[in-house]
A and B are shown apart, each in its own frame.
Chain A
Amino acid sequence: MSLLSFAQWVQSTDFFTAIRSSWNIYPIIMATHLAGIALFGGMILAVDLRLLGIAMPKRPVADVVGQLRGLKHLGLTIVVTCGVLMLGSKAEEYYYNAFFRAKMAILALIVIHALVFRPSVYSRVAEFDQAARIPGRAKLAAALSLVLWISMVIAGRGIGYIEPPLDKIHAQGGAPSAASDVVAGALAAQVAPDFKR
């Protein structure tokens, strides 16, 4: 089963069809996604800015990082859950969407970032407080985190500007053999006229 046919199957299930068919469930999920970013995204920025020594400089790094970790995980759970619900309900559209692909690539980089810097930075913040200085690798981790998360916002917002021409793609015979040709064609035709959405 190809990824495309899997995407088509996922969105054809009763559950995701119901989300897609309702006028307000999809926007409610999207608004919850954004509300999660509002409530918890700022915590990521706060931790990064603390590591850079810019925000909350009077508070121990260990206090800021340690006391926000649980809330950040709660926020991530809410935001990812909403993201998966949106993805499932329009899986085929997302499959062709270049910004969605970019967003998933950035998400992969964020996972790598966590794997690389958790042992060397985030688990060792108490040492930074004892030494009373923040090492360069911690500042690098914070700066990269800021860049990656802001890139996530850019790619996420970009998704709404692209409307893959599914009608045309389907007219060419459903799941095409040369998927790359279709993607290239879709990209060429991807100019959303209503760029408010």
Chain B
Amino acid sequence: MFLAAVNPLNSSELIFPTLEVIHIVGFAVLVGTIAIVDFRLLNLGMRRQAVAEVASDLAPWTLVGLAMVLLSGPLMFSSDPDMYYLNRSFQVKMVLLLLAIIFQYTIHRKATKSEGPPLRHKLVACISMALWVGVVFGGIFIAFI
């Protein structure tokens, strides 16, 4: 409560929506670039390039997107920490986000570097997209529960 009371974020009506737009564009970059790699793993897109090429081309952009959401997200959280902290959808979102980031930089990264069996690639791609879609759903439902 103390934080919310003095937080300069709450002094202007435009700051929060600006952060939201940065957050949305950020997750479009973050999830969108991961999804391109996932569709490549599924053999549904970018088939003329090798998996490793697509992944290494887009890795810096995934980090750009991650930076955008990880800067805007905590700032939005700080505008009303009690509400977010107690919000069940937010809690689910944070768990899924943690899992998605860990998955991205361990199993997903490993899959893009190895030839591996196609079935494994496809499974990794589906888990990756499911986790990120789950994060988006968790974010939207914060406002509805």
Chain A residues close to B by CB (< 8 Å): 23-24, 27-28, 30-31, 34-35, 37-43, 45-46, 49, 55-56, 58-59, 63-64, 67-68, 70-71, 150, 153-154, 157-158, 161, 195-197
Contact = CB atoms under 8 A, between A and B. Distances in A.
Interface in B38-70: 39, 44-49, 53, 57-58, 61, 65
A39 to B, nearest CB: 4
A24 B144 CA distance: 8
B143 A197 contact: yes
> For this complex, into which size category does the number of interface residues on chain B fall?
35 or more
A-B complex: 3 closest residue pairs judged by Cβ atoms:
A42-B32, A41-B28, A38-B31
B140 A27 contact: yes
B49 A39 contact: no
19 contacts: A27-B143, A27-B144, A28-B137, A31-B141, A34-B136, A35-B136, A37-B24, A37-B28, A38-B28, A38-B30, A38-B31, A38-B32, A38-B132, A39-B132, A59-B53, A59-B57, A67-B45, A70-B45, A158-B17
Contacts, number: 110
A31 B145 CA distance: 13
Determine the main DSSP class of A at the interface with B: helix
A46 B32 contact: yes
Given A63-B46, A153-B21, A27 B35 contact: no
Given A31-B139, A43-B32, A56-B57, 19 more contacts: A24-B144, A27-B140, A31-B141, A35-B136, A35-B137, A38-B27, A39-B133, A42-B36, A43-B35, A45-B28, A55-B57, A55-B58, A56-B58, A59-B53, A67-B46, A153-B24, A153-B25, A154-B21, A157-B24
